[in-house]
Amino acid sequence: MDGPAQSTGASGEDRALAASLDAVKRAAGAQAAHALAQAAPKAARRLGTAEAFAAWLGVVERLAAQAPESVDALLGRIEGVLVDLDVPRFEAWALAGLRLAGGDAARRRAYFALEDPEALRWLERAAADLGFSTVERRIKAYLTALWGLHPPVRAVTATGSGGPPRRTSFAGGVIRVPESFRGVGEAAAVALFRASLAHVAAHFRFTPRRFPVGSLKPLQVALVSLIEDARVEQLAIAEFPGLRRLWLPFHVAEPGGPPAAPALMARLSRALLDPDYRDDDAWVRKGRRLFLEARADWGDPAVSRRIGGLIGNDLGQMRVQFNARTYVVEPAYRDDNMGLWEFADRSPPPGGGETVVESVRVDRIDDAPSPDRERPDGEPPEEDGAPHRAAEDDDGADGVPVARYPEWDHLIGRAREDWTTVVEYPAEAGDPHRIDRMLEERPDLARRVTALVRAAKVGRPTRLRRQSEGDRLDLNACVAAAVSRRLGERPDPRVYERSVRRERDLSVLVLLDVSESTNDKVLGGITSVLGLERDATALLARGMAELGDPFAIHAFCSNGRDDVHYLRVKDFGRPYDAAARGRLARLRGGLSTRIGAALRHAGAELARQLTHRRLLLIVTDGEPSDVDVYDRRYLVEDGRHAVMELAQRGIDAFCVGLDPAGDAYLTRMFGRRNVLQIDRLERLPDRLPTLYVRLTA
């Protein structure tokens, strides 16, 4: 029955492949199609199922359309790439490459040919089932809880010899954990990390000093380590019986099989820990017997040395294969034993899996200045009237990179660390009269907006006692009044109390989108979107300045992920003077809208304000976009994430949309209640109360 089913599956694969070959040939040329034909059988073998293969073909087709020059380079190396990745992870890795290169074909090709170190880094990242960093805190807390230990733990992605580490290691009180265990599922990885560190902690607790290597042979070193591992585990189990359940699932060695040293040693390890394990091998049984007979002496590490030496001799006489170079400690949770031995003459250790203890920690390269600004409070050029530099000069030679932020990729469901760089540019000085004139022309509007801002009661609730009216009786006032009445005095009629929001306690950061699209005319109007943004902001700012509310006006646009422009029109704690109004008047539209990075940067600024409520008011006209992003949803989802992060920090993000068609993505980012659309300046007073009602609710 299997035969026909398989053959239809195969012909299905062939049909899918033929279609893909066509598509790739059309998109990327004959050479790429040829490479696909060559690579397809290898990929099919790696991926195993017809579904996975078909999905993989889909990814290749899409890649051919978006990066035609890179397909053949990638397909030539496809086996190596697919070793660690399934199709969704392969796709995530490929997408990272497209994003990284941002339209630069040469860079793309370098990435897919695995010549760009970033490609390997992302490969590593994509392959990682579960990184240690995600569970680090809980596992450290676990060690603290069990043993009161607070050892430094370092996640290691590469050993000194370049390969990924396969086992935990410890030396000098520092534990080095592989950043990820290859091919281990998420749930199993948590248990593996936990088991690993619990095992190392048992060494910390019960292996008081290192064994001198002396004249021991590699096999003896490995066996003494094995007995020592079992000894410290037994002692730990005596203290915490549940640890046996933590470690036992990793012991999967079974009786039988060829008498090779690693297999026998794995079986002995299991026999020493698992009381229910049966093994008929004479050597395994002898090791177990010696170990259990020495139960009374388990407290002394010398017992490991003695038993390890004895069974080491036996194994040596059995003439089984043992290769110290390829030996890796089993099961996977055990450490590489390097921390157990004292090597007299710093010569390379004879046994053990990782031969180099000192490993490299790949740290985040942190060359960007810290988010705390380096410049004194965004000092803008103050030469009033005189433009700082030509309006057309837009390559921004004097931008200062101030911070890096992560960006959320909805396809892989993860944030990419330090993916965007915010660069602050000085806002140019301009003519404040444009703003003043606009306000003078619309005195009613200005007054109404100011009144609305004033009416907003945003502050901490305060209890007022002894009020002439209120929603509760003030008991003390009541009693005092009754006493006075009895005494024949005229009682004080103020016997109520109530709670009010009395102080204005709100800081507002207005963040203006000044991307290229803001130069467009407002639908059915004569002013540009930017003009509308500017006028609305001027109205609000006037109201806030009159009332003394702390507020700031910043603007942003972007030119790829490495250059998110950020301009400070007015900062918190600085006057809203003619210079500030001039800078507001001078804002020009250009470049794109990478909204998430700007939101994060503005949020960091606003988080420093110590008011009761903090409002980030973002004024935007269009869909988020950037030159290096082709996926329409990508920046929207990132923006949504940024807004959620702000909410977690107690910052309200509110969007004023100027694109009537933008409701779908704006509500996706900010939530339905936090978006208001205006298309004419006159609508601002009508819509503004919505915002304040939402804030004070």
Partner 1 sequence: MPLSDYLIDQEPWYRSIGDEVALFEAAYADRMPMMLKGPTGCGKTRFVEHMAWRLGKPLVTVACHEDMTASDLVGRFLLDADGTVWHDGPLTLAVRHGAICYLDEIVEARQDTTVVIHPLTDERRTLPLEKRNELVRAHPDFQLVISYNPGYQSVLKDLKESTKQRFGAIDFGYPDAAVEAEIVAHEAGVSREVAATLVRIAERSRNLKGHGLDEGASTRMLVYAARLVRRGVALEAACQVALVLPITDDPDIRDALGAAITACAA
Residues that bind partner 1 (CB under 8 A): 137-142, 144-148, 150, 194, 198, 240-243, 245-246, 476, 478-479, 482-483, 486
CA distances from 448 to 434, 472, 541 (A): 20, 34, 13
- The nearest distance, CB 271 to partner 1, in angstroms, is 22
- Residues forming beta bridges with residue 508, ordered by sequence position: 551, 615
Q: Which are the contacts of 519, defined by CB distance < 8 A and separation ≥ 6?
A: 528, 529, 530, 588, 589
Distance CA 294, CA 211 (A): 19
C-beta of 5 vs 487, nearer to partner 1: 487
CA separation for the pair 307, 291 (Å, rounded): 7
Which of 246/338 has CB closer to partner 1?
Answer: 246
Q: How far is the CB of 500 from partner 1 (least distance, A)?
A: 19
Q: How far is the CB of 243 from partner 1 (least distance, A)?
A: 5
Nearest to 277 by CA among 252, 295, 296: 252
State which residue, 487 or 526, has the beta carbon closest to partner 1: 487
Residue 528 CA neighbour count, 13 Å, CB half: 14
State which residue, 146 or 290, has the beta carbon closest to partner 1.
146
- CB of 421 within 8 A of CB of 468? no
CA dihedral 605, 611, 613, 618 (to 10 degrees): -30
Q: Which is nearer to partner 1, 478 or 664 (CB)?
A: 478
Toward partner 1, which CB reaches closer, 198 or 606?
Answer: 198
What are the CA-CA distances from residue 38 to residues 62, 376, 406, 594, 657 (Å)?
A: 18, 60, 38, 40, 51
Specify the 3-state DSSP secondary structure of 523. Answer: coil
Nearest-approach distance from CB 150 to partner 1, in angstroms? 7
Pick 147 or 343: Cβ nearer partner 1 = 147
Rounded CA-CA distance 231/307 in Å is: 11
Residue number, 30 or 141, with CB nearest to partner 1: 141
Q: What is the maximal distance between C-alpha atoms in the chain?
A: 113
- Phi and psi angles of residue 659, each rounded to the nearest 5 degrees, phi first: -115, 105
> Quick one: 132 or 576, whose CB is closer to partner 1?
132
Do residues 104 and 67 make contact, with C-beta atoms less than 8 angstroms apart? no
Report in angstroms the alpha-carbon separations of 137 from 133, 134, 521: 8, 8, 52
Of residues 146 and 412, the one with the C-beta less far from partner 1: 146
Output the smallest distance, CB 95 to partner 1, in A.
Answer: 29
Query: If residue 673 lies in a helix (H) or strand (E), which one and from where to where?
Result: none
Pick between residue 346 and residue 490 the one whose CB is nearest to partner 1. 490
- Least distance in Å: CB of 134 to partner 1? 10
> Least distance to partner 1 from the beta carbon of 268, Å?
24
Alpha helices (runs of H) in 463-510, residue ranges in sequence order: 475-486
Give the list of residues 6+ apart from residue 115 with CB closer than 8 angstroms, or none.
none
Burial group, residue 682, by CB count within 10 angstroms (0-12, 13-18, 19+): exposed
CB of 647 to partner 1, least distance (A): 18
Nearer to partner 1 (CB atom), residue 30 or residue 240: 240
Distance CA 183, CA 130 (A): 10
- Cβ at position 152, least distance to partner 1 in Å: 14
* Cβ(593)–Cβ(555) below 8 Å: no
* Distance (Å, whole) CA 79 – CA 530: 52
Least distance to partner 1 from the beta carbon of 137, Å?
4
Nearest approach, Cβ of residue 567 and partner 1 (Å): 39
By beta-carbon proximity to partner 1, the closer residue of 36 and 197 is 197
Q: How far is the CB of 201 from partner 1 (least distance, A)?
A: 11
Give the β-pairing of 153-156 and 169-171. Answer: unpaired
Contact between 412 and 92 (Cβ < 8 Å): yes
Q: Which is nearer to partner 1, 5 or 145 (CB)?
A: 145
In the bound complex, what is the minimum distance in angstroms from residue 187's beta carbon to partner 1? Answer: 12
- CA atoms of 242 and 239, how far apart (whole Å): 9
Alpha-carbon distance values, 549 to 263, 504, 584, 693 (Å): 74, 7, 18, 17
CB of 136 to partner 1, least distance (A): 9
- Between 495 and 602, CB nearer to partner 1: 495
Neighbour-count burial of 354, counting CB atoms closer than 10 A to its CB (0-12 exposed, 13-18 middle, 19+ buried): buried
- Decide the pairing of beta strands 496-501 and 472-473: antiparallel
CB of 499 to partner 1, least distance (A): 14
DSSP state of 625: B
Considering the complex, what minimum distance in angstroms separates the CB of residue 192 from partner 1? 13
Angle between helix 663-670 and helix 632-648 axes, rounded to 10 deg: 30
SS3 681: helix
> Smaller CB distance to partner 1: residue 113 or 146?
146
